[in-house]
A and B are shown apart, each in its own frame.
Chain A
Amino acid sequence: MDFLSILSIFVLAVFVGYYVVWSVTPALHTPLMAVTNAISSVIIVGALIAAAAGAITEGGGVSQWLGLLGVVLASINIFGGFAVTRRMLAMYKKKDKKPAASK
């Protein structure tokens, strides 16, 4: 892919992000931060490439270990981010059907 098509994807994705995020209810802004945190760990893709390619490239030892460290850090974030988001979202409950007699 050339630079311009990538740039196009990027610009369109910024607009998608803009409209999607404005539609997020303010009550869920903390889970929003947690989940964006988790998905931004997609940076793990780069770390995986470094770790995998470093293993077979001559002189790739340093970049392999940098990649592996990146994989560890990003994995903390992926598992931690999604799990904590799930934990938070599970707490948001609607009012019980039988009303607690609010007036």
Chain B
Amino acid sequence: MEHAVAATPAWAVLAYLAAGVLFILALRGLSSPESSQAGNRNGMIGMAIAVGTTLALHPTGLPLIIGAIAIGGGIGWVIAQRIQMTAMPELVAGFHSLVGMAAVLVGCAAYLNPVSFGITDAAGAILAVSRVEMGLGVAIGAITFSGSIIAFLKLSGRMSGSPILLPGRHILNLGVLAGILVLTGIFAVDAAAAAGQGPLLWIILGLSFLIGVTLIIPIGGADMPVVISMLNSYSGWAAAAMGFTLQNTAMIITGALVGSSGAILSYIMCRAMNRSFISVIAGGFGAESGGGPAAGAAIQKSYKAGSADDAAFIMQNAETVIIVPGYGMAVSQAQHALREMGDLLRKEGVSVKYAIHPVAGRMPGHMNVLLAEANVPYDDVFELEDINSEFGQCDVAFVIGANDVTNPLAKTDKTSPIYGMPILDVEKAKTVLFVKRSMGGVGYAGVDNPVFYGDNTMMLLADAKKMVENIVKGLNGGGH
């Protein structure tokens, strides 16, 4: 079994390569909903090949291993069946933490038993290049783990979503990061580390767990789409680093795919908020709530409030309605009632479309999944750039649980924290129906929204789900 990895037979190398290619095809399948299910199957086949090949190469200790797979697989399967679609962001964050922890465990196991991983030289010392990969893999894995745990706690409401600002946090974080890099460098040249001894790896590990926490706690709830994408990316890089250690193509290809996927999603989310990645990661956005001049003046302004029956009447007599969902829809689980409302309007001959802002919700694509869950056909759901020009011609924009993504100040007010963010132009619709819990709260960015006070706006102040259910009643009862 000595130098097991270095002596990987050709068939196994090809099998791992095939697994890597199947993973590429799994992502490729997601280019359209029709091909997506086949893509997912490719991913499963790829994973089965990777696991099967590894077990065939290392056929020892099988009973325990199969037991471990059965336990983990059973837990995972049950979670996947039971989880509510609205809880998807925290589920994904939780899963990221597991990948991070698994990377940490693999790195530590390789450090303690380097011969089995084929990363030692003739004298039995761990290769320097392997120690760099190991140090980085363990560090990224640990950051992914603790960062994802914090993201999970914030997203599931077990911890406040508002930013927690430590004094001097930037210096602290940069210092810890520098410490990790320097120690990884020392780890690569240290003689004791080569012999698998000394505390260096454990210090790197501890610092990485710490920085994962301090990096994520200052980031507020609505910036979570970026955080989840970033942690997604990290989990990929952790897998890639371990792939280098094991010289395993499946792991390297996957790590690169996942790493770039998460990075691209982070970029898309930042662009949709017109903020730099650095400013999101620096955190603290929205912490100084009510600071803007607009927020102070909000109380005096007048707005029109309406009832569910008013809303039902207006929409019944409209030709086109565009529905704009946001995080509030997810919180109140209003998607099913919303779809019912859409169906009833269609029966009356109203054209109903859905408009999704890229950062609506708590993770990329969050709204699309919830609408799909409620059986809204995906060809009725449009992205910002595809539908934004239609608000000018539409009769009703029905905003439910969204706020900042509809705020026209983003176009006009250079002092606004959301200035420059692309928004859905709901104010151009003939009538805006704005479902909101109360007039008290302003959006996440702490900015008041002039749409509330527009002449063409009717505020529907209630819980989103209750309001939509009452509108549905109105549509049923008040029919022609």
Contact = CB atoms under 8 A, between A and B. Distances in A.
B117 to A, nearest CB: 6
Interface of B: 1, 4-5, 16, 19-20, 23-24, 26-28, 30-33, 36-37, 39-40, 43-44, 46-47, 50-51, 54-55, 58-62, 64-65, 68-77, 79-81, 83, 85, 88, 91-92, 95-96, 98-99, 101-103, 105-106, 108-110, 112-113, 115-117, 129, 228-229, 232, 235-236, 238-240, 242-262, 264-265, 268, 319, 343, 346-347, 349-352, 356, 358, 363-366, 368-369, 372-373, 375, 377-381, 383
Contacts of A67: 105-106, 109
B80 A84 contact: yes
Contacts of B265: 21, 29, 32-33
A66 B103 CA distance: 11
Interface string A87-103: 11111111110001111
Given A95-B380, A101-B346, A39 B372 contact: no
Given A36-B27, A52-B54, A77-B95, 20 more contacts: A16-B24, A21-B27, A26-B364, A27-B33, A29-B268, A30-B88, A31-B30, A40-B255, A44-B54, A49-B5, A50-B106, A53-B4, A66-B108, A70-B105, A74-B72, A74-B98, A81-B80, A82-B43, A93-B372, A96-B377
Interface string A67-83: 11111111111111111
A38 B48 CA distance: 12
Contacts of A96: 377
Nearest to B245: A46
B248 to A, nearest CB: 6
Contacts, number: 413
A33 B364 contact: yes
Contacts of B23: 39, 42
A48 to B, nearest CB: 5
Main secondary structure of the interface of A (DSSP, over half): helix
The 9 A-B pairs of least Cβ separation, nearest first, read A75-B72, A55-B61, A53-B116, A80-B76, A29-B365, A13-B256, A83-B80, A50-B109, A52-B58
Interface range on chain A: under 10, 10 to 19, 20 to 34, or 35 or more? 35 or more
Interface of A: 1, 3, 6, 9-11, 13-14, 16-18, 20-57, 59-60, 62-64, 66-96, 100-103
A32 B27 contact: yes
A42 B58 contact: no
Contact of A46 (B64, B101, B246): B246
Contacts of B363: 29-30, 33
A3 to B, nearest CB: 6
- Max chain B CB contacts within 10 Å: which of A1, A10, A60, A94? A10
Main secondary structure of the interface of B (DSSP, over half): helix
6 contacts: A16-B24, A43-B99, A53-B1, A70-B102, A76-B95, A86-B40
A24 B35 CA distance: 11
A44 B372 CA distance: 32
Contacts of B54: 44-45, 48-49, 52
Contacts of B92: 30, 33-34, 37
A67 B379 CA distance: 45
B68 A72 contact: yes
Given A26-B365, A27-B365, A71 B69 contact: yes
